[in-house]
Amino acid sequence: MSISLAKGQRISLEKEGGGSLDYIEIGVNWGAIEKRGLFGGKKHVAVDLDASVGMFDAQGNLVDTVWFRQLKSKCGSIHHSGDDRTGDTGGDDGQDNEVIKINLNQVPGDVTTLALVLNSFSQQNFGDIPFAGIRIHNGKAGTGSEFAKFDVANDPTFSGKVSMIMGSVYRHNSSWKFRSIGAAIAEKDLKTSLAAFSRDYAN
């Protein structure tokens, strides 16, 4: 059964029968903006969000970044499915817009934290985006293997913010844990968003 996470919650990435997960896929989805048309109808405005992963060491230094311009980490442990430029129209369709594939066993030993960040390519603010969320899959995304999910409700405090720190995967002793964050931030690009994560959310 999938775990529905609240903001700030931390969970261990473990198999049902015990033991740490070796491989996960984190699916990111979001909704297109709905607006009224000229004659009272509705139209959807495409939303181009970019999901990215920053790989940090124990000192908070950025080791590598996986994003739409670098779809594979230099070590080969993380792969990105590619850029989605529209978002879901008509509500959550149950499919992930972008997927981050992580082989946890292959993450280099000096990397202690993986930061999951969303940036609005066209600077559309999160106050207008109807929903955004992530699904953590034990194995391949879309196969019924959903381990946990974290939905970010539309929040008035998101208004004017064009970036969001969704969560982090981090080492805890010899295993991995996930922390749900869901913080809309003022930073406008990936570089400054990852700097904000290192400053405010790395621990």
- What DSSP string describes 149-185? EEEEE--GGGTT--EEEEEEEEEETTEEEEEEEEEEE
Report the SS3 class of residue 106. helix
Query: Are the beta carbons of 117 and 197 closer than 8 angstroms?
Result: yes
What pLDDT does residue 40 have?
67
Beta strands in 72-130 (DSSP E): 78-80, 98-103, 111-120
| pLDDT at site 90 | 65
Among 156, 179, 194, smallest CA distance to 53 is for: 194
**What amino acid is encoded at 55 in this protein?**
M
Sheet bearing 175-185, strands edge to edge: 10-12, 175-185, 163-172, 111-120, 49-57, 62-66
Residue ranges of the chain whose pLDDT lies below 70: 1, 37-40, 89-94, 144, 153
pTM: 0.91
| Confidence at residue 91, expressed as pLDDT on a 0 to 100 scale | 62
Q: Are 167 and 178 in contact (CB under 8 A)?
A: yes
